[in-house]
Every structure is written in C-alpha cells, then in structure tokens.
Amino acid sequence: MAHPAHLKPFELALPGPLRDRLVDAVLTGRKVATAGLLAEYEAEGAGPPEAGERAALVDSGGCAVAVVEVTEVRVLPLGDVDLRHAVDEGEGYRSVAEWRAAHERFWRGDLGFAVNDSSQVVTERLRVVEVLDPVAAAVAGELALHDPAVRGSRADAERLFDPEFTEVGQSGRRWTRDEMLADMPEMAVSDPEGPRIEAYGMKGVLLGPGLVHVTYETGIDGRRARRSSLWRRLPESPLWRLYYHQGTPVPDGLR
C-alpha cells in the first residue's frame, strides 16, 4: 500500500529496525511525541510542520500504515527538552539524560550533525487518526505485550487492553483486564532479566471491520504454547486493543 497521494510521508528515524520499532510504538499508542533537529528541516529546504497537519506514517518498506496528525509543535533549545517529552516518545526513557544520549548518538552518528545545549530542536506531539493496516497494528500490539518494558509499565500496558479483555491462560485460569494489569508486572517474563517470550509463525487475519485474529506459537524456557488473540478496534478510537487471548500448552514431542 503506497502512502495516500494527498498526504506527505511521516518518517521516523532511518529505514530499518529502529524505524519499525518506532512505528509499532505509534500504532500501539505508546509513542505520542517525537523530535528532530531544526537543522534537518533546513537541510531539506523545508520548515517544521504546523499543528493540525496530517501525514502518512510509513514503515521501512515505504508503505503507509497509519494517518497521523500533529497536534503540537515547539522549537526550543536542546537543553530545554523536558521529562514529559522524553517519556512521551514511548521508547522507555526514564530521564532526559537517557533521551538526550540516544538522540545525540543518532544525530551525530547517523545524520552527521554536531549538537549542543543551544541546538534548536523541533518537538512534535501526534495522534493516530486512522490505522491503514489493521493486521500490522494487531501484530505490533501482540509483540509489544512480549516486551518486558511494556509489561512492567501499567500506563503502557493498559493502552493495549480492550475494556472487556479476557484471557484464558495455559492453566485454565480466566483473567479479567484488571487482574491481568495487576499481576502482569510480577510475572517472570516481565522481568528484564527473566526468560524471554520467543514467538514463531505469527500471522493475522482481518475477520471483519474492527476485528483481527492473530495466531502463533511461543517458547518460554523450553515450554511451548499455541496462542490465539482477538484484537478489536472500537468505533470511537483509531487504536487496536487486545479483546481476547488464549494459550494452550503443547506437550513434549507433539509437532
């Protein structure tokens, strides 16, 4: 899907794994802010965007995955960027220093710009207007819930769960949304030093307007499970949220 002809592309970072992670963070509602150097715009012969502008968020393949709207634009010295902005970039920054170190590595190393406290930065706040690829949005949400940083943050996790979420776990236990949000940070796979969730064969199917079915298999410390999720988009929101999930253990030796 090429980006809509009437909208300019909204590109985060450079094509590759970093861009794809940032796009996923936007699609799942975790990333609501971004920043760039004013010098980047000047080098391209363009000015910063204006509040109210809409653009096509593109992935590393140049395909449009969502329409986003810029809701706020500020031009300020790098030294004045605050913690609220750093956190709202949705990349797990816990301080302005962490945010700045990561951005300076990108601006210096990947783009070749020298920066200091007085370098002018363009900060933007944005919102998703429309998701153009529902399956991609559902898969991005499913993978986000495998990330210990997301699982350990109630604010990040609750954006991904539908108000009527239910899960039937491998043990047969039934979880409500509130129970899952309360218990998830304490699970072993939510610990950054704990076991990782390895996902295999993930695929999604659009069942109808506002409903995507995602299936895949996981391995956690050698234990396999087959998983099925339903992601739902409510009419009043452009974001996709997990409505139902079930995990079924796979006995040893079963293919």
Mean pLDDT of the region 73-102:
96
Instruction: Examine the pLDDT at 1 and tell me if it is beyond 70.
Output: no
Mean pLDDT of the region 247-255:
86
Percent of the chain with pLDDT over 90: 84
Q: Is the dihedral of CA 106, 16, 212, 207 positive or negative?
A: positive
Instruction: Examine the pLDDT at 199 and tell me if it is beyond 90.
Output: yes
Buried b (16+ CB within 10 A) or exposed e, 113-149: eebeeebebbbbbbebeebbbbbbbbbbbbbbbbbbe
Instruction: Examine the pLDDT at 114 and tell me if it is beyond 60.
Output: yes
Q: What is the pLDDT of residue 4?
A: 60
Mean pLDDT of the region 48-70:
93
pLDDT confidence tier of residue 5, bands split at 50, 70 and 90 = low
Task: Kindly report the average pLDDT of the chain as a whole number.
Answer: 93
Q: What is the pLDDT of residue 63?
A: 86
Phi, psi of 185 (to 5 degrees): -60, -20
Mean pLDDT of the region 212-221:
96
Instruction: Examine the pLDDT at 123 and tell me if it is beyond 90.
Output: yes
Instruction: Examine the pLDDT at 3 and tell me if it is beyond 50.
Output: no
Q: What is the pLDDT of residue 252?
A: 82
Q: What is the pLDDT of residue 253?
A: 78
For the stretch 93-111, pLDDT in tens is 999 999 999 999 999 999 9
